[in-house]
Every structure is written in structure tokens, then in C-alpha cells.
Amino acid sequence: MKHLLLFCIGCTLFLSTSAQSTDTLNRIDEIFSHWNNATPGGSVLVSRGATIVYHKAFGLADLEHNVPNTTETIFEGGSVSKQFTAASILLLATEGKLSTQDDVRKYIPELRVYDAPILIQHLLNHTSGLKDWGSVGSLTGWPRTTRVYTQELGLEIICKQKSLNFTPGTEYSYSNSNYTLLVTIIERVSNMSLADFTRTRFFEPLGMTHTQWRDNFREIIPNRAVAYSNTMSGYEQMMPFENIHGHGGLLTTTGDLMKWNTLLQSHAIGGDKLYTMRVQQGRLKNGEQISYAGGLRVETFNNYKEISHSGSTAGYRAWLAYYPDKKMTIAILSNDANGNVVAAGKKIAEIFFGKPEMKTWNPERVPLTESDMKHFSGTYRSIRGIDSFTLTQRDGKLFWNQLPLTAIHKDTLYTNGMKWVFIKPGRMRIKNGADTSSYRSVRAIDSTSRYLQSLVGTYISKEADTEFTITVKHNSVWISRKPNTSYNLTPLYYDGYRGDEFELLEFRRDRKGKVTGFEISLSRAERVPFTKVTANR
């Protein structure tokens, strides 16, 4: 009877555990139910330690030939690749071949001399201020995926830039230029290509037999998924036709990424020292710690430590995360540009760690007088960044992009977790979570004929290696670039415009008010200068 009772209890526990496991797997399946045999998809892996909990593939690797994705399909990892480059530079540091405090010009003397030196550590943490080569290159009319960018071309663009986005070490701004320079350093110090260095020092020792760099985009890679983007007319191929790599460009599988993540547990290569350097978060000169470490973000998810990175190159998407408290890896690789793999990865994490509690705050409202509202009304431009906004007063309320703002103090507005704080006439500060940005008021838009004609002319940039022409048509400002690019600029404020290819264009004037040029600011590349060379008539 005793043995029968124990047997029954054991069966109950087994069935309960089995049902729980099945429910977990079904919940993960549901996250990716939008991928099917008529769409691209991806591969998904969840593991605890050396045990694979979940490993499935969805959708098609090749829509033209109806080839399905499998768990062995090779995808491109996008910026998930950065941690491999970071680990390589840090391995050289542990071996005494270099120091993360070295001036980058020690290894890349062709880099310009700036007001403050750029250190290797700045490159690792994206605190160098370097403008992103891809953003600058797009100004020529050749954004990424439209021409063959190479390591040499990326380095050339970087070295042409006479200024930085900010003083090294003072801010964080994600830029692929940082990791392009790290690749150059690795190759010059080790006398090996990045591909050979990572293959011999990491891939082969870890048994990552399906991993290599896309250093020749023309190479035939068996079992590689084609990347796609869903457009109004249907799916189209969206492949990374470029050879530059290190910031991205890692071809791999979810199974190999699991093997890579074992280093965050075992420290088998480089020991504790390499591990510590990989996850050491960056720190700015003002003492503020940032989440970015060595090609990894170190954050928390529902009070669990999360070491992760996302990736996006052409139509490939990737997410790799490790949760040391549970020794858990979540790896997602996809050939669907429209799939949000980061959100999917977070949903998987919720299944195992619970959903983070969303804190709500309902501040008490304070009535504003007409005089109070006039403090806020107007157009403002970021003092350090490139964004601008207009606060308008209408029907006794203040609006931001047509969104009504709530006053919680006569000098503070609030909406969606953001606070607008009036500092003094012409100065505003926006607090969004832990971030604080300062803004100054700017002159209103001028649409007079005399003003518009002062902008007309040809503008060139040696740093972007391109030329733009400004004309006026039907009282609107137009920008064009040979052979066939032309569109009108949207006025934001006096001398400030937004374009189809960039966030901000600001005209510059001399002391007499004559236009001498303009600066274009894009995501990851601010204030790229253009000089006015002719005034069209």
C-alpha cells in the first residue's frame, strides 16, 4: 500500500510538471503564431544551463523556393554581433596586448585629433562621440543596403569627420563607427583578420560550427535564410549587400548563440577577468553609470539581472539575452524585418519571470492662467540634441503635437511620464524617466520671399562627400541632389528645417546675416557641415 501511494504521488507530480511544461511551450508558440508557411519567420531557443527548454523554427527561409526555416538555419545577428568584437578586444587586453585606456590613435593614427582623446573604452561603451559612418554615408544618396560598404570605406568616412557629436566620455550615443574602429585595432594588434581571430579564439573552442562573419557578401552560405521586408505590394528581399562587419555581420544559429552564452556562466575563455570586463557598465565623466558595457546591455527585467543585446541589419532581426540568476538564455533570430523580436523576447521572459508591474501616477492638476500658459507657448530646440517641438495654446489648454498637456505646477506640465519644466524665459527642461534634456526657444518660421531667397544656392560637404542645391518653388524650400533626388523641406523654426532623409537641417549665417552654409543632423551623426559655394539666380 505504501509503495502504491508513493507511485501515485510520483505520477501526480509528473503529470503536473508535464502539464506545466506543455502550457509553457504552448504560450511560447503563441508568441510566434503570426509566422507561417507563407511568411518569413525565424528560430527561437530557450535554455537553462546546458538544457534546451524550447527550440523551434517558424516560417520560410526562402519564399521563392518555399524552403522552411529550421533550428539549423543560419541568420545574420545584426548588432548582437558587437559582443563578439568587444570580447575580442577585451581578450587582447587580458593578455596585455593593449589597454582599454589606450588612445585609439595609438593604433589608428589616421584618425583626426580632436579636443579630447578617444579611448578604446569609449569605443566599447559608445561614449566616443564619433559620428556613425552609415548615417554620414546616407547623405550621398547611398544609404546602407544600397551600396557595398567595406571596412576601408567605413574607416575613410570616419576619418573625414572634423568634429564629434560630443566630447569623448561625456555622453552616450550609439554609433557603429565605434565597433568599426575596434575591428581595425583587433586586426592591427593581432595581425589576424577578425574572422580568423574569432574563429580560432572563440568559435572553434566553443563548438560554434555554424558561425562566421559576413566579410564577403557574395559568398555562398549553405542553409542561410534570405531576409525580407513586407511592403504595400508584398514581401521583398532586403539583404545586407556590404562587407563591413564587426558592428554587425555575424552569421550564426540560435544553437551556436546558446553555446556562446555559456561563457557568461562558465568563463571558460579569458577567465573571470574577461567576464568582468565584458559586463562592466560604462561610466561617464560626471560619474553617471550607463547600461551599455562591452557590446552588451546590463539591465534588469522584473528584478532579474538581464544581459542582452538586440540586432537589426537589412531584413534580419535578432535578440540574445542571458539571465544569470536562472542561467537562462533566450535567443531569437529572424529573417522578417517587420517582426519585433525584442518584444517577443520580453514576452518569453515574462513567462518565466513574471510580468513587470506597471506603475501609474495620477498627479493632481493645477489650473493655469493665461499668463502662465504664455511662459510655455512657443517653439523650442534642444540645446545639446537635434530635436525640436512647439507648444501651442488653444481653448485655454496647452498642446504638444496635438496632445493636451496637464499642469501639475504653474511651472510644470505633464503627459505620458514626461514633464515639461519652465526654467526661465526662453528655457525649458524635459524630464523623461532618468533622462533630462534642456531646450531653448527659437524664432518663429519666416516665410517671406526675401528670407526664402537668402537660402537659395549650392552647398557642398567634404566630410559627407556630396552636394545639395536649395531652391524655392511656390513659396516652399526644396533640396535636391543629383541625379534624381528632390523634395521640399518642412519648416520647423527660423533657419531650421526637417527633410525626408534627415531629422534636422539648420542654416548658418555670418554676423551680417548672410547664409554661409548649413548643418545636417541625422540619427547618430550630428551637425555634418555644408558650405554655401554659389547663390543661384
Residues 6+ apart with CB under 8 A from 192: 186, 200
Name the grid cell of 427. Answer: 528655457
Predicted confidence (pLDDT) at residue 302 exceeds the cutoff of 50: yes
pLDDT of residue 27: 96
Q: Cα 123–171–103 angle (5° rounding)? A: 35
Quick one: pLDDT band at residue 13, thresholds 50, 70, 90?
A: very low
Q: Render pLDDT for 121-132 as a digit per residue (tens, 0 to 9).
A: 999 999 999 999
Contact (CB, 8 A) for 318 and 332: yes
CA distance 265 to 182: 25
Predicted confidence (pLDDT) at residue 433 exceeds the cutoff of 80: no
pLDDT of residue 144: 86
Q: Render pLDDT for 53-64 as a digit per residue (tens, 0 to 9).
A: 999 999 999 999
Q: Render pLDDT for 110-121 as a digit per residue (tens, 0 to 9).
A: 999 999 999 999
pLDDT of residue 4: 45
pLDDT of residue 20: 55
Structural domains in the chain, sorted by start: 75-130+165-353 (3.40.710.10), 370-441 (2.40.128.50), 449-534 (2.40.128.50)
Predicted confidence (pLDDT) at residue 458 exceeds the cutoff of 60: yes
Contact (CB, 8 A) for 36 and 58: yes
Q: What average pLDDT score do residues 387-404 get?
A: 88
Predicted confidence (pLDDT) at residue 11 exceeds the cutoff of 80: no
pLDDT of residue 435: 74
pLDDT of residue 364: 84
Quick one: pLDDT band at residue 374, thresholds 50, 70, 90?
A: confident
Q: What average pLDDT score do residues 339-364 get?
A: 90
Predicted confidence (pLDDT) at residue 469 exceeds the cutoff of 70: yes
Predicted confidence (pLDDT) at residue 1 exceeds the cutoff of 80: no
Comparing 11 with 144, which gets the higher pLDDT? 144
Predicted confidence (pLDDT) at residue 224 exceeds the cutoff of 90: yes
Quick one: pLDDT band at residue 8, thresholds 50, 70, 90?
A: very low
Predicted confidence (pLDDT) at residue 272 exceeds the cutoff of 90: yes
pLDDT of residue 15: 40
Element (H, E) at 309: strand 304-313
Residue among 341, 340, 274, 261 nearest 306 (CA): 261
pLDDT of residue 95: 98
- Lowest-confidence segment of 6-15, 179-188, 416-425, 486-495 by average pLDDT: 6-15
- Lowest-confidence segment of 40-49, 120-129, 271-280, 416-425 by average pLDDT: 416-425
Burial class (CB in 10 A: 0-12, 13-18, 19+), 102: middle
Q: What average pLDDT score do residues 264-284 get?
A: 97
Q: What average pLDDT score do residues 269-277 get?
A: 98
Q: In the chain, what percentage of residues exceed pLDDT 90?
A: 80
Q: What average pLDDT score do residues 299-328 get?
A: 97
Predicted confidence (pLDDT) at residue 9 exceeds the cutoff of 60: no
- Lowest-confidence segment of 9-18, 236-245, 407-416, 455-464 by average pLDDT: 9-18
- Lowest-confidence segment of 222-226, 297-301, 411-415 by average pLDDT: 411-415
Q: Cα 448–452–456 angle (5° rounding)? A: 165
Q: What average pLDDT score do residues 146-161 get?
A: 95
- Specify the length of the chain in residues: 537
Q: What average pLDDT score do residues 380-385 get?
A: 87
Its pTM stands at: 0.91
Q: What's the half-sphere exposure (Cβ side, CA atoms, 13 Å) at 208?
A: 26
Contact (CB, 8 A) for 53 and 258: no
Dihedrals phi, psi of 181, to nearest 5 degrees = -70, -35
Name the grid cell of 315. Answer: 531584413
Element (H, E) at 308: strand 304-313
Amino acid at 524: R
Comparing 384 with 8, which gets the higher pLDDT? 384
Q: Render pLDDT for 63-122 as a digit per residue (tens, 0 to 9).
A: 999 999 999 999 999 999 999 999 999 999 999 999 999 999 999 999 999 999 999 999
